[in-house]
Amino acid sequence: MTFKIKLAGASAAVSLLAMGAAQAQDPVSLTIVSWGGAYTASQVRAYHEPYMELNPHVTIINDDGSANALAGLRAQSQAGNVTWDLVDMLPSDAQLACDEGIIMQIDHDAMLAAAPDGTPASEDFLPGSLGECFIPQIVYSTVLTYRPDAFPEDNQPSSIADLFDVENFPGRRALQDRPGTNMEWALYADGVDPDDIYDLLRTPEGVDRAFAKLDEIRDHIIFWTEGAQAPQLLADGEVAFATGYNGRMFDAIEVEGQPFEIIWDGQVVEWDGWVVPADGNNLDAVMDYLYWATDTQRLADQAKFISYGPARASSAALVGEHADLGIDMGPHMPTAPENYFAPIVLDNDFWVDYGDEMRERFANWMLQ
């Protein structure tokens, strides 16, 4: 691990360095689990490739299993065969895994780098982003995106309410096969203020109201599971609307040249980050990687490749142009003032407390 260690004398320091150099030559293979597509590609370029260049003995293997990360961690833990070394996970799932003891608790100031000015990690990561077992990388949002050519020029959608208006905006809708975002948007489209959504969802009446609103578009939905599927469904013309992660949609529009438009109204804002499986086989190498990959510069580097905001305050000033396109990334961030006019900040406590119940009911609703 990359920690500051005080040694009694120079001889001890020399011995430790020599021993570390010898150990550093032992080959290490790290399996890092993430979401695939443009997001994993941004991690590869910002973190994995530079780290392997600095540490030639380390090989990083990508596994696109984050959509089912909680189930995967549970299964590996129960089998006593933990094969994942580091997992990209959502905060609500991370809290459940933490409560179950299948991921490590994190001492943020001891295990993570301080900001360049010496501000400890616990004060540099954005308020509310750190978890007991969770290290945030990015702030991102789930947004609604549409194909302008699916509608007349004088009747283009502009709000979440339009997703539920099949009369004025006909066509298939691609929604993720999980209740998160869909439940929030159903109430928002039904006139509920963003500040009141979770209070209402904590009541049976609120849940029924959300499903009643979703029923209005049930026959027009195609469900997606993996993040890469949403922009692909739009690109293939299979749907007129698709929910999706703002970075994926940015990549499709700006990198691939797809003719999509993002609707920022009601964007659901959330953190995403790392968890360390308990009982992993390469803990020292994992923690060394994490110390390096979550420092101020590295988190800013990821924004060169995808439009997700870095989770450290000290990284914000370092966000510049896209590495390949040369465009200013600031306006494409979910937190840009022109985009952040009606956000719904995802309530992780709600999804920890009610997630299993909501997922069961949503799964049954999808089968109707």
- Asked if residue 254 and residue 107 are part of one domain, the reply reads no
Q: Tell me: the pLDDT tens digits for 136-161?
A: 999 999 999 999 999 999 999 999 99
**Residue 58 located in a structural domain:** yes
Dihedral, CA of residue 95, residue 99, residue 101 and residue 103, to nearest 10? 10
State the DSSP string of 218-267: GGGEEEE-STTHHHHHHHTTS-SEEEEEHHHHHIIIIIS----EEEEEEE
User: Which of 301, 318, 335 is the last residue in one of the domains?
Assistant: 318
Distance of CA 277 to the CA centre of its chain: 18
pLDDT the model gives residue 127? 87
pLDDT the model gives residue 16? 44
- How sure is the predictor about 22, in pLDDT bands with cuts at 50, 70 and 90? very low
**Residue 4 located in a structural domain:** no
Cβ–Cβ < 8 Å for 138, 311: yes
- How sure is the predictor about 5, in pLDDT bands with cuts at 50, 70 and 90? very low
- How sure is the predictor about 236, in pLDDT bands with cuts at 50, 70 and 90? very high
Q: Tell me: the pLDDT tens digits for 36-83?
A: 988 999 999 999 999 999 999 999 999 999 989 999 999 999 999 999
Q: Does the pLDDT of residue 3 top 80, yes or no?
A: no
CB neighbour list of residue 296: distance below 8 Å, 6 or more residues apart: 113, 115, 116, 124, 312, 314, 315, 318
CB neighbour list of residue 187: distance below 8 Å, 6 or more residues apart: 197, 200, 201, 206, 209, 210, 213
- Asked if residue 117 and residue 208 are part of one domain, the reply reads no
- Asked if residue 286 and residue 238 are part of one domain, the reply reads no
Cβ–Cβ < 8 Å for 32, 48: yes
**Residue 70 located in a structural domain:** yes
- Asked if residue 163 and residue 148 are part of one domain, the reply reads yes
- Asked if residue 62 and residue 96 are part of one domain, the reply reads yes
- How sure is the predictor about 13, in pLDDT bands with cuts at 50, 70 and 90? very low
Q: Does the pLDDT of residue 9 top 60, yes or no?
A: no
Distance, CA of 226 to CA of 210 (rounded, Å)? 24
Distance, CA of 67 to CA of 93 (rounded, Å)? 10
Residue type, 115: A
Q: Does the pLDDT of residue 21 top 50, yes or no?
A: no
How many domains does the chain contain in total?
2
**Residue 198 or 356, more confident:** 198
- Asked if residue 333 and residue 265 are part of one domain, the reply reads yes
Range of the domain at 180: 140-270+327-366
CA-based angle 141:143:148, to the nearest 5?
A: 150
In this prediction, residues 236-249 reach a mean pLDDT of 96
pLDDT the model gives residue 121? 97
Quote the DSSP letter at residue 45.
Answer: I
- Asked if residue 95 and residue 183 are part of one domain, the reply reads no
Q: Structure tokens of 116?
A: 């360049």
- Separation in Å, CA 247 to CA 140, 244, 334: 7, 8, 9
Cβ–Cβ < 8 Å for 72, 33: yes
**Residue 3 located in a structural domain:** no
CATH number, domain of 205, equals: 3.40.190.10
- Asked if residue 234 and residue 145 are part of one domain, the reply reads yes
- How sure is the predictor about 317, in pLDDT bands with cuts at 50, 70 and 90? confident
- Asked if residue 235 and residue 98 are part of one domain, the reply reads no
**Residue 241 located in a structural domain:** yes
Least confident interval from 12-16, 72-76, 145-149, 265-269: 12-16
Residue 195's Cβ-side half-sphere holds a number of Cα atoms within 13 Å equal to 0
- Separation in Å, CA 331 to CA 297, 300, 334, 336: 20, 15, 8, 6
- Asked if residue 124 and residue 232 are part of one domain, the reply reads no
CB neighbour list of residue 112: distance below 8 Å, 6 or more residues apart: 106, 121, 135, 290, 291, 294, 295
pLDDT the model gives residue 148? 98
Cβ–Cβ < 8 Å for 259, 148: yes
**Residue 109 located in a structural domain:** yes
- Asked if residue 60 and residue 209 are part of one domain, the reply reads no
**Residue 306 located in a structural domain:** yes
Residue type, 128: G
**Residue 193 located in a structural domain:** yes
- Asked if residue 147 and residue 266 are part of one domain, the reply reads yes
Residue the block writes with tokens 């997992």 = 87
pLDDT the model gives residue 15? 42
